[in-house]
Chains A and B, each alone.
Chain A
């Protein structure tokens, strides 16, 4: 069974950094594109970033481009999201999501999420 476990969330001041991690198990990790998707309190889903299986290609939502960096360590089956210059509007539950092997844009497994709160 594929499992994704996020960590690293917490309370941070506006302008500060935070690094999220997602530990994956039960899959051949480097076969899958991986994404971060967030959900602000009481709101809908909002895709943040994606990284290809090899780590060579990344995509970002315009709202985080230049501030967030997605990366992965395939030797440790771990996904990361480095978040800098955090804003109040980045407050959300951040999910790690596995891309389908045929189409990374299909998120077929989700973690339980880690909460990021940015105080202004």
Chain B
């Protein structure tokens, strides 16, 4: 994948978990980052857009940030229903299209 994410992350209920997304100057470095949540067996859902904006209905325990060519998603106060795959995405100026990270599977221990 063009964007690099850790394959897995975990935490106990109530803990804070952070997922990183690393890119380059042609994608994260010059464009905004979006995050998608994919619960098991379901379609992806927009979680964060424009680096740190939450769509209506997304709990405020989810937050996004970006610095340089990297971005991160934080889940504060982890809950069992947060077990899912999380994908970062950004437009890539060189490829002239959106690119995704490989996804991070979050497990609640």
Contact = CB atoms under 8 A, between A and B. Distances in A.
B46 A108 contact: yes
Interface size class, chain A: 20 to 34
Majority-rule SS of B interface residues: strand
Contacts of B36: 45, 107
A55 interface: no
Contacts of A61: 95, 97
Contacts, number: 54
Interface string B81-104: 000000101010001111111110
Chain B contact-residue range equals 20 to 34
A46 interface: yes
A46 B95 contact: no
Contact of B97 (A45, A59, A107, A113): A59
A27 B54 CA distance: 21
Interface of A is mostly: strand
Name the residue among A35, A44, A109, A110 with the largest chain B CB count within 10 angstroms.
Answer: A44
Nearest to B44: A110
A107 B50 CA distance: 12
